[in-house]
């Protein structure tokens, strides 16, 4: 299975800050990388797919980049409603696997 890691595991930021979360795969996943936001007690919500494509209805302050094994999710101008846990997920090979999550506190 492809192992996914994320850093940091948690972070605290202020409204208006730019936040960057990193996701690394144990082997190349060729851009098949998706990002989700999960708020407490809720289902995950798709933010970014195929590494850099913004899901419909998601604010443009969210952006993704990366290739090969290394990917980033950036949130520019952090809003209070952006608190939650962010997960990366690979869909390239073998069983789908998720990163362990990054908790974002405002």
Partner 1 sequence: QVQLQESGPGLVKPSETLSLTCTVSGGSMTNYYWSWIRQPPGKGLEWIGYIYYNGNTNSNPSLKSRVTISVDTSKNQLSLILTSVTAADTAVYYCARHPSAAEVFDSWGQGTLVTVSS
Q: Which parts of this chain interact with partner 1 (CB under 8 A)?
A: 1, 32, 34, 36, 42-46, 49-50, 55, 87, 89, 91-92, 95-101
| Cα-based distances in Å from 49 to 10, 14, 46, 54 | 22, 26, 8, 7
Place of tokens 């390239």: 92
What is the edge-to-edge ordering of all strands in the sheet holding 70-75? 4-7, 19-25, 70-75, 62-67
Nearer to partner 1, 16 or 43 (CB): 43
Closest separation in Å from C-beta 8 to partner 1 = 15
In whole angstroms, the minimum distance from the beta carbon of 27 to partner 1 comes to 16
Residue number, 19 or 88, with CB nearest to partner 1: 88
CB of 46 to partner 1, least distance (A): 5
Sequence length of the chain is: 106
The strand pairing partners of 49, in sequence order, are 53
> If we measure between CA atoms, which residue out of 1, 4, 2, 3 comes closest to residue 101?
4
CB of 71 to partner 1, least distance (A): 14
Measured from the CB atom, is 42 or 60 closer to partner 1? 42
Between residues 34 and 72, which has the closer beta carbon with respect to partner 1? Answer: 34
């Amino acid at each position: 299975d492809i192992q996914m890691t994320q850093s940091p595991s948690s972070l605290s930021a202020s409204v208006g800050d730019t936040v960057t979360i990193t996701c690394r795969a144990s082997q190349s996943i060729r851009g098949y990388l998706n990002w989700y936001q999960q708020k407490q007690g809720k289902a995950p919500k798709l933010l970014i797919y195929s590494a850099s494509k913004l899901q419909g209805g998601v604010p443009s302050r969210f952006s993704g980049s990366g290739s090969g094994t290394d990917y980033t999710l950036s949130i520019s101008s952090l809003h209070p409603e952006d608190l939650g846990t962010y997960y990366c997920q690979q869909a390239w090979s073998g069983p789908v696997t998720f990163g362990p999550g990054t908790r974002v506190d405002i």
